[in-house]
Amino acid sequence: MSPADLGAAYDGRQVLVTGGAGFIGSNLARRLADLGARVTVVDSLLPNYGGNLFNLDGYENRLRINIADVRGHGMEFLVRNQHVIFNLAGQVSHIDSMSDPHTDLEINCHAQLSLLEACRRGNPGTKIVFASTRQIYGVPQYVPIDEVHPVRPTDVNGINKMAGEWYHILYNNVHGIRACSLRLTNTYGPRMLVKHSRQTALGWFVRQALDGDTIQIWGDGNQLRDYTYVDDVVDAFLAAGVTDAANGHCINLGGLRPVSHVELMSTLTDIAGTGSWKLVPFPPQFKKIDVGDTYCTHALANRLLGWQPKTELAAGLASTVSFYRSWREHYWN
Residues engaged in binding a copy of itself (CB under 8 A): 98, 101-102, 105, 109-110, 113-114, 117, 148, 150-151, 153-156, 159-160, 162-163, 166-167, 170, 173-174, 288-289
The span from the CA of 315 to the CA of 313, in Å, is: 6
Residue 270: count other Cβ atoms within 10 Å of its Cβ.
12
The span from the CA of 259 to the CA of 226, in Å, is: 6
As measured in angstroms, the least distance from the Cβ of 163 to a copy of itself is: 4
As measured in angstroms, the least distance from the Cβ of 168 to a copy of itself is: 10
Asked if residue 79 lies in contact with residue 126, where contact means CB atoms within 8 angstroms, the answer is yes
As measured in angstroms, the least distance from the Cβ of 63 to a copy of itself is: 30
Residue placing its CB nearer to a copy of itself in the complex, 9 or 162: 162
Residue placing its CB nearer to a copy of itself in the complex, 288 or 303: 288
Taking the chain, what is the end-to-end CA distance rounded to the nearest angstrom? 37
In Å, what is the CA distance from 196 to each residue of 7, 94, 166, 308, 331? Answer: 36, 14, 30, 30, 10
Q: Which helix (H) or strand (E) holds 43?
A: strand 38-43
Of 199, 196, 220, nearest in space to 208 by CA: 196
Residue placing its CB nearer to a copy of itself in the complex, 24 or 115: 115
The alpha-helical segments, DSSP class H, found in the chain are 3-10, 23-34, 75-78, 94-99, 101-105, 111-122, 156-175, 201-210, 230-241, 261-272, 284-287, 299-305, 313-327
Residue placing its CB nearer to a copy of itself in the complex, 195 or 198: 198
Residue placing its CB nearer to a copy of itself in the complex, 102 or 325: 102
As measured in angstroms, the least distance from the Cβ of 233 to a copy of itself is: 26
* Bridging pattern class, strands 127-133 and 84-87: parallel
In Å, what is the CA distance from 212 to each residue of 50, 272, 277? Answer: 23, 9, 10
As measured in angstroms, the least distance from the Cβ of 315 to a copy of itself is: 38
As measured in angstroms, the least distance from the Cβ of 158 to a copy of itself is: 8
Residue placing its CB nearer to a copy of itself in the complex, 147 or 263: 147
As measured in angstroms, the least distance from the Cβ of 223 to a copy of itself is: 20
* Helix, coil or strand: residue 8: helix
Residue placing its CB nearer to a copy of itself in the complex, 55 or 108: 108
